[in-house]
């Protein structure tokens, strides 16, 4: 049942994204990378029991973002710039860690903070698990030690 739910949301998201991409060449790229980071072969085990229930909210957040995009593309672009800065900072910080350290709980927690930030930016009505912002993510990244 959960697999059908995820598949239906993925199909809907792809259709919405393709519609938006066709409607405006200046629209930001659809969040395919976010989807592939959430749903992939083995994602259930990799996500873990504690985080699995949040995937529904993240998928709904993507859907809401795509729904709201035509209303205000400039706001979407500004929010996407925030999300991208945080994501790039996270990628750099994780790349600077020893390989054995990258999967530890404090490191993976920052990855989930990025998903929460996206919900906060693009689908505020869904709420977040905890307060989150670009600055909170940068602070968490600064605490990561090799």
pLDDT along the chain (146 residues), means of 10: 53 54 46 81 90 92 87 90 94 95 94 96 95 97 90
Q: What pLDDT, on a 0 to 100 scale, did the predictor assign at position 84?
A: 92
Which residues form the domain of 80? 2-142
The total number of structural domains in the chain stands at 1
pTM tops 0.85, yes or no:
no
Nearest CA-CA partner of 115 in 78, 90, 144, 97: 90
Q: What pLDDT, on a 0 to 100 scale, did the predictor assign at position 24?
A: 46
CA dist 26 → 34, 70, 83, 96, 144 (Å):
20, 11, 18, 34, 37
Angle at 81 between CA 76 and CA 84, to 5 degrees: 120
């Amino acid at each position: 049942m959960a697999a059908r739910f995820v598949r239906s949301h993925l199909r809907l998201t792809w259709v919405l994204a393709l519609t938006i991409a066709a409607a405006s060449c200046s629209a930001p790229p659809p969040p395919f990378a976010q989807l592939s980071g959430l749903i992939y072969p083995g994602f259930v085990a990799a996500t873990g029991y504690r985080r699995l229930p949040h995937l529904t909210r993240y998928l709904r957040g993507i859907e809401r973002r795509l729904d709201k995009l035509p209303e205000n593309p400039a706001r979407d672009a500004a929010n996407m710039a925030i999300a991208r800065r945080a994501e790039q900072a996270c990628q750099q910080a994780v790349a600077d860690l020893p390989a054995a350290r990258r999967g530890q709980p404090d490191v993976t927690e920052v990855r989930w903070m990025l998903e929460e930030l996206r919900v906060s930016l693009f689908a505020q009505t869904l709420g977040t698990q905890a307060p989150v912002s670009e600055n909170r993510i940068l602070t968490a990244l600064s605490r990561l030690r090799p």
